[in-house]
Amino acid sequence: MLAKALVSLAILTLSSWSFAQMPPGVGEKPAEEAKAETKEATPELAPEVDEAQGQCKTPRQAWLQLLYWLQKDHYDPVRAAICFDTSRLKDPDSEAPKLAAQLIQVLDANGWFIKPDELPAQADHLDASKRHRYEDPAVQGKGITVYRRGGRWLFTPDTLGKVPDLYPGLTVRIVNVLPSWFHSQVIGIEVWKLLGVLVLAFIAFLFQKLTVFLIRTYLRRLVKKANMSYLDKAVQKADRPIGGLMMAMVFYLGFPKLLFPAGVAQIARVATEALAAYSLVWLGYRLIDVLTLWLGSKAEKTDSKLDDQVVPLLGKTLKVFVSVVGGIFVLQNLDVDVSSLLAVLGLCGLAFALASKYTVAYFFGSLNIFVDKPFQIGDWVVMAGTEGVVEEVGFRTTRVRTFYGSLVTVPNLKVTGNTVDNYGARKYRRYSTTLGLCYDTPPEKIQAFCEAVRAAIKGMPGMRQDFYMVEFK
C-alpha cells in the first residue's frame, strides 16, 4: 500500500510541477521578488479583469478581486485585499495585503479551486438561510465566506481571522532559514519539497505499522478478555484497513504543509481521498465477512435450511453496496455530477428491467420462496410437474434431484405460480400395501396375523399410534 502511495505521489508531482511556483512569506521578501515567485493557484482570469477593479458589488467580483491581483503577471496584494472587511484589523494597510497573500497560499496548498464561472454574479444573492452570504463549494466548511455589507460584498472578519490558523506559517519560517541548496530545483521541483514528500511517506508508513501493531497487540488483548470471539475476529480483520486510513490521514494533513502548487495539491487530495475510500471499502469487506460467519453460525442452529442459502447471498449483496458507495465517494471528489450519473444509471436500469422482465420476475419469485418458505433443502416435493428432493434454491431457479437421479432446474417463477406439494413437511408418511393369503388359511390364523402386525406397529419407534389400519378384506 505504501509503495502504491509513493508511486502516485511521485507521478502527480512530476506531471503537475509546472502549474506554479511556491510563493515566499509575504513581508519576508521584497514585493518584486514575491511577485516573481507567486503561484498560479487559481485559473487564469484575464477575461475577468473588468470585474477586479475594486467594485465588490457581487460575490463574483469580491473573489475575482482576490484571485486576479495575486497572479504572477499582475501581483498586487494591496489591490487583492480591497474586498476585505478590515473593521477588526489593528493596522489594515499592512495586515490586509499580508492576509490576502496568505489566503491564496492556503487555497493553493490545499488544492481548493475556485471556479470563476460558477461564482454568483447577483448583487442580491442569498444563501440557503436567506442571508446575503456566499461560501464557495470548494471551501465548504472551511470558514472562508463573503457577505454583503453597506452595498459591497466583502470577505468577512471571521474569514480574515481564520487565515493565520489555516496558513502553514511554521513551514514558511523553516523554509526561509534553510540553506540555499534546499531551494535549488531538481526536475523543476525544489529540493526541500522532494525531501518533504519522502519524510511524509516515511511518517505515513510508521503510522500504518504502529496502528496495526497496537490493534493486534493491545486491542485484541482487551477484546479477548471479554470472551467475544466474533468481535475478536472483526478486530483481527480490521487492522490493516484501519492502518490504510491512518496513512490517508497523514497525507491529508501533511501534504498541504509542503506548499505545492494548486494543481499538484488537488491531485494529491484526490489521491488521498481515493486511498481513504479504498481502505474503507476494504474494511467494509472484512467486517461483512465476519458478519457472514456470525449469521452462518446462527443459521445452522435453525430448522430451516433456506437460511444457509440466504447468508452468502446477503454477504455478496452487502459487498456490492459498499463498493458502489465507495465508488460514488471517489467520483464526487473528482467533481463528477453523481446525481446526473445516478439518473442515467436509473434510466438504464429501467430499460434493462423492461428488456429482462422475466429475469426480474424470477428474482421476485425467489424472494417469495425465501419469505414464505414453502419447502426447505432436503424436502421431498412435487412442483411444476417435477417430483424429487430439493437440493438448492437460488435467486433465479430451484434445483430438484428426482428419484431417477436426474437434476431438474425449475424457474422460481413457476414454483411460486403453481401448487407445491411438500411431502417433506408431513409429520408421518403413509404406507399402504396389500398382502395376499392362501384361500384355505384358517380364520384364526388370519386374525392372529393381523394382531401381530398391529403389535409390531405399536412397538416400532416413530410410528403414529393414534391412527393406523390393519384389516382383512
- Per-residue pLDDT tens listing for the chain (473 residues): 544 444 444 444 433 333 333 333 333 344 444 444 444 444 444 456 778 888 899 999 999 999 989 888 888 999 999 999 999 999 999 999 999 999 988 888 888 888 888 899 999 999 989 999 999 988 888 889 999 998 999 999 999 999 988 888 777 777 777 788 887 878 777 888 888 889 989 999 999 899 888 888 877 777 777 676 777 778 778 888 888 889 999 988 888 888 787 778 778 888 888 888 888 888 888 888 888 888 877 777 776 666 666 777 778 888 888 888 877 777 776 666 666 666 666 666 665 555 555 666 666 777 777 777 788 888 888 888 888 998 888 777 888 999 888 999 888 877 777 788 888 777 777 778 888 888 888 888 888 888 888 888 888 887 877 777 888 77
Task: Give residue 126's pLDDT.
Answer: 92
Task: Give residue 340's pLDDT.
Answer: 67
- Alpha carbons 455 and 447: distance in angstroms, whole number: 12
Among residues 241, 312, 305, 313, the alpha carbon closest in space to that of 276 is found at: 241
**63-92 burial, b for 16+ CB within 10 Å, e for fewer?**
bbbbbbbbbeeebbbebbbbbbbbeebeeb
pTM of the model: 0.56
Long-range contacts of 127-134 (CB under 8 A, 24+ apart): 134/59
- Alpha carbons 243 and 229: distance in angstroms, whole number: 22
C-alpha cell at 108: 493553493
**Residue 227 burial (CB count, 10 A):** 8
Task: Give residue 328's pLDDT.
Answer: 78
- Alpha carbons 398 and 391: distance in angstroms, whole number: 8
* Contact (Cβ atoms closer than 8 angstroms) between residue 77 and residue 26: yes
Residue 26's DSSP bridge partners are 29
C-alpha cell at 375: 419447502
Task: Give residue 58's pLDDT.
Answer: 93
Length of the chain: 473
* Contact (Cβ atoms closer than 8 angstroms) between residue 381 and residue 365: no
* Contact (Cβ atoms closer than 8 angstroms) between residue 119 and residue 61: no
Task: Give residue 297's pLDDT.
Answer: 78
Task: Give residue 327's pLDDT.
Answer: 79
